[in-house]
Structure 1
């Protein structure tokens, strides 16, 4: 029968092999002789800190004995959270995710450990160790799936936040799962969760869902805003707060509803919502942060007023809108991207020559591909969608004007971005545009196009199964 080795036997073998006494090894490891002796004889369990010292003293890589530690001190004996907690944090530091999975799998049968594991997950999330935190949240959610608890809802909210990424199909699945748990969150988290869901659905162009989330968010934010100015609650300063000012969620709901109307072609109604979030005289706060947000919404409203008139066919406002873009242009290329996207949509829809505009903002346009990563859901989701859309509109503009080199350059970039986002609509639109102008593509561009199509096909085959037929 094969015996599983232990850390104790491995240490004992090392001491004999190197001819080291307990005192000598203890000196190397920074541990006193008594502790080393107790570990070797099996009379004392060890902490992860002691294990790390032993591992380093033996000249082995960090975490070398972690699998044995799990076997010897977690699975084989009754779980002890005073030992497990620091071990989980250390595994997260070293990115030992499989070790975390083993530990959590070994103890999750006992619901008594759930609150502590949840606290650890929250701490890991705060440290930015998202992959490690995700393992804990997922296991807690699975264990408590039949519980109607706020903790279960928070786990699903955290899972949603961590999982949101480039793949829009996956984002849609994550959003639909979170929706079922929003009402179980506390009132404040509900508002933030609804805003996050609205932004994800906005990037997916699920306008009915954007409208639904926006209206729910406004209703809940209005209730909380009213309660905050209830005399009986006036001095309750330590209550949980939303990520941004409460009035901003009410105004942002109007902005979202305006975007829904704009997408549906109802520009008149979009303007009414735009006027609503421009007029924030009802806001009671007067601090500098409030003034900042009010000015921000007013600025957005000014720009979107031009946009709705422009997209409705009033091309006379284009010079004013371009001037507005120039005046409000900042280092924040996220906003510059969305503004110039509006220009390109109008240019293609109404056949407007915007060569001068593109030349004026050439530096901004060239920097769009270098937009920084962000943990904000809007920036993380909506901006990559706009970048792919902008590439398509630029390609459409140049190809229809016979500027084929630039047109195909933007088209291929848009196809790559659409593939990253797993956005079939954008990808198919790009394919159609390429095929319409394929006779004007040089051989190198045709080869690049076919290589991308083959790459996407092979990726889908790998993801969805064999291409040799059903079995």
Structure 2
């Protein structure tokens, strides 16, 4: 059995091959001779920076010795946080996730490292090193799973946001996994967590969940507002600030619950929620941030009142609503989608509107790098683009413009397959089958190829086709 060479023996072999002395090696590495001598004699464990310098002298890739370094300074010696912390940062910089995983496995038998690793995870997240941050959050959460701590809940919150992506089924699982931890968070953090959960459930169209989470957020925000409005002698000062002024969470609660009513076709109740956040005269603060949000909610309420009337079939509000979305870039996607939904529901002719927004619609559909827009999360924007394609297809197919309708429908089907949105995959299939007789061979070929990529939907698609 042969022993694995240590980093020190590798350096000694290098010195021998090159015919160097300690001073010459130190000069090449940018270290003083005394430091090099202590390292080679085994009297000192190298710091990560020193290891990186030596690795460069040996003309080896960055991080080449990190696995061996972990063995020598954490397994064969007592772990020292002053060496481990900079090693974690270097591993994150070099994207050496296996090394990070190895480090935390060696540390987390000792819970004293849990808060230290949590702080590093927060740093990684702020630096945009999401994969490294997620590894640390997962490790801290696993180590504290029996502690019922606030830190455990916050790790789960961070993991929830990091797990959100294009796959809507995975987004649903991330939300369901996080939801039981919300009430373990600090009350202020709960507000932002509930807002993020509500937005995620909105993008998934899980309306029962949206209603429940939004109601909870509104109630919690009202309690926090009441605490700040008590007489000065009894007032409880907030130990931290939420990401938005407190009244925003009350107004968002009404806005979200109004969207639930819209989705359910209860437009009268939706109007009541719209009127609730339209009147925020009870808000007392007048700072710049507050005035900004007051203006936004006033505009959103006016727009959503028009949307509810549109869904009632009131076509007279269309010109005003079109003017609104013309002047609000962040609302163009949602606005055009609302117009199409109302047109398909009540048989409006909106050709002139679609012609006016033709270039915007094309840009919205073709954008590759999605991002959050205003209060719409990236996941919600992605879902809205898919639904826009579906509504465009429905609109043009009803007008016998089959080539255009099928083009949008196939794009929508592809989008929803990418998103793993089973509900809308089946809706696209039903719509296609209703108009199948008007599809040419090329359209049918593309349609069949798209469905071949979704074998897990085969039986359900058969039910959709037969029930169409």
**TM bucket normalised to smaller:** over 0.9
Which stretch of structure 1 is more off in the superposition, 315-324 or 6-15?
315-324
Match of 2:435 among 434, 437, 449: 437
* Deviation by residue 1:338-357 (Cα, 9 ceiling, x = unmatched): 01001111111122211110
Distance of 2:323 and 2:374 partners within structure 1 = 29
Write out per-residue CA displacement over residues 440-462 of structure 1, whole angstroms, 9 at most, x where no aligned residue. Answer: 334333332222222233x889x
Displacement of 1:434: 2.2
The equivalent residue for 1:351 is 347
Give the conservation status (yes or no) of the 8 Å contact 1:175–1:197: yes
Matches within 5 A, 1:145-160: 145-160=145-160
Q: Is the 8 A contact 2:370 2:378 kept in 1?
A: no
How far off is 1:375 after superposition? 9.8
Q: Decide which of 445, 448, 451 is 1:447's aligned counterpart.
A: 445
Give 1:318 shift: 2.2
Structure 1 unaligned segments of length 5 or more: list them. Answer: 462-471
Per the TM alignment, residue 249 of structure 1 is displaced from its structure 2 partner at its CA by: 0.6
Q: Is contact 2:228–2:235 with CA below 8 Å preserved after alignment? A: no
**How far does residue 182 in structure 1 lie from its aligned partner after superposition?**
1.0
- Alignment CA distance shift 1:18-1:409 (3 Å): farther
- Residue 401 of structure 1 is matched in structure 2 by 399
Q: Does 1:207 align with 2:207?
A: yes
Per the TM alignment, residue 200 of structure 1 is displaced from its structure 2 partner at its CA by 0.9
Partner of 1:329: 328
RMSD: 2.0
- What residue is the counterpart of 2:466 in the other structure? none
C-alpha separation in 2, matches of 1:238 and 1:89: 33
- In the TM superposition, residue 44 of structure 1 has moved relative to its aligned partner by 1.1
Question: What CA distance in whole angstroms lies between the structure 2 residues aligned with 1:62 and 1:240?
Answer: 41
Cα–Cα, structure 1 residues 376 and 300, in superposed 2: closer, same or farther, change >3 Å? closer
Cα distance, 1:232 vs structure 2: 3.0
> What does residue 57 of structure 1 align with?
57
Deviation at 1:140, TM superposition (A): 1.2
- 1:189 and 1:292 map into 2 onto residues whose CA distance is 22
Separation of aligned partners in 1, 2:175 and 2:252? 19
**Kept in 1: contact 2:258–2:271 (CA 8 A):** yes
Give the equivalent residue in structure 1 for 2:465: none
The answer on whether the counterparts of 2:389 and 2:408 sit within 8 Å (CA) in structure 1 is yes
Contact 2:370 2:382 in 1 (8 A): no
Is residue 257–residue 270 contact of structure 2 (8 Å, CA) maintained in 1? yes
Q: CA deviation at 1:236?
A: 8.2
CA contact (8 A) 1:303 1:324 kept: yes
> Separation in 1 of the partners of 2:373 and 2:348?
37
Compute the displacement of 1:98 (Å): 0.7
Does residue 341 of the first structure (1) align with residue 340 of the second (2)? no
Q: Distance in 1 between matches of 2:11 and 2:89?
A: 24
Q: Could you tell me how far apart the structure 2 residues matched to 1:233 and 1:132 are?
A: 46
Q: Which residue of 2 aligns with 1:129?
A: 129
* Kept after mapping to 1: 8 A contact 2:397/2:405: yes
Please give the TM-score of this superposition, normalised by the length of structure 1. 0.92
Aligned residue for 2:462? Answer: none
**Equivalent residue of 1:242, what SS?**
coil
Q: CA deviation at 1:234?
A: 9.5
Partner of 1:428: 426
CA distance in structure 2 between the aligned counterparts of 1:377 and 1:354, rounded to whole angstroms: 27
**1:433 Cα offset (Å):** 2.0
Paired residues of 1:63 and 1:94 also in contact (CA < 8 A): yes
Q: Following the alignment from structure 1 to structure 2, what is the Cα–Cα distance between the partners of residues 146 and 82? A: 28
* Partner-residue secondary structure (3-state), 2:232: helix
The alignment partner of 2:453 has SS state of helix
Aligned to 1:384: 382
Alignment partners' CA distance in 2, 1:128 and 1:320: 42
Q: Which residue of 2 aligns with 1:414?
A: 412
Tell me: CA distance 1:70–1:460, structure 2 relative to 1, closer, same or farther (3 Å).
farther
Q: Deviations over 1:261-319 (max 9, x none)?
A: 11111111110110110001000111222111111101111111111011122223223
Please give the TM-score of this superposition, normalised by the length of structure 2. 0.93
Deviations 1:312-370 (A, max 9, x none): 222232233223322x333x3xx210010011111111222111100101121111132
Looking at structure 1, the residues matched to 211 and 137 of structure 2 have their Cα atoms a distance apart, in angstroms, of 29
1:178, distance to aligned residue in structure 2 (A): 1.5
Matched, 1:182 2:178: no
- Following TM superposition, by how much is the alpha carbon of 1:233 offset from its aligned partner in structure 2, in angstroms? 7.4
5+ residue gaps, structure 2, are 459-468
- DSSP 3-state at the match of 1:181: helix
TM-superposed CA distance for 1:191, in Å, is 0.8
